[in-house]
Amino acid sequence: GASIVACMQALALIHKLGLQPRRTLRVAFWVNEENGGRGGVAYREFVGGQIQNHVAALEMDGGAETPRGFGAGVDAKSMDMLKQIAKLLEPIGAGEITGGGGGEDIGPLIRDGVPGFSERAGGGHYFDWHHSEADTLDKVNPEDFRKSVAALAVMGYALADMPERVTGGGARRGQ
């Protein structure tokens, strides 16, 4: 739940700041990751041929702990471009950009060539309460949550506004 709210807040922050990226930002929520991933598959079917317009897919699936950066499923040239975004994220401790972005939720998009990104969090307590009755709002640290919102807003805006598109590693579609 924190991830859904963080994504909505990231877009709200971009809007509040009056920023208008050259490309559209879309937040999509779906369910069923642990039981077959039908939500991600349904979204992929929904976008159909418009998938060629998807510049990137970002996923926040590691809880709302301290953000460290992003995993990026991109080629070497794109990873070099992401170094500039990483510098913007360094003041909040989220400037680490590593390979291997994406996850189950956005897997259907990645398989069709959309570069995948996953926010990386500290993860010190994530599995202490993940998918349990203890997974409640009081576990969310407001400061870490705000940093996650900021990291998502910066990454999302930058990817949507870059003159060049990042390219997924091993993508099946062209630029």
| Separation between Cα atoms, residue 149 and residue 154, nearest integer Å | 9
33 is catalytic: yes
Residue 64 · residue 148 · CB < 8 Å: yes
Per this entry, what is the length of the chain? 175
Sign of CA dihedral 124, 101, 93, 96: positive
* Nearest in space to 67 (alpha carbons), one of 120, 25, 114: 120
DSSP H or E stretch at residue 120: strand 116-121
Task: Point out the catalytic residue in the list 33, 34, 90, 119.
Answer: 33
Q: Which residues form the catalytic set?
A: 33
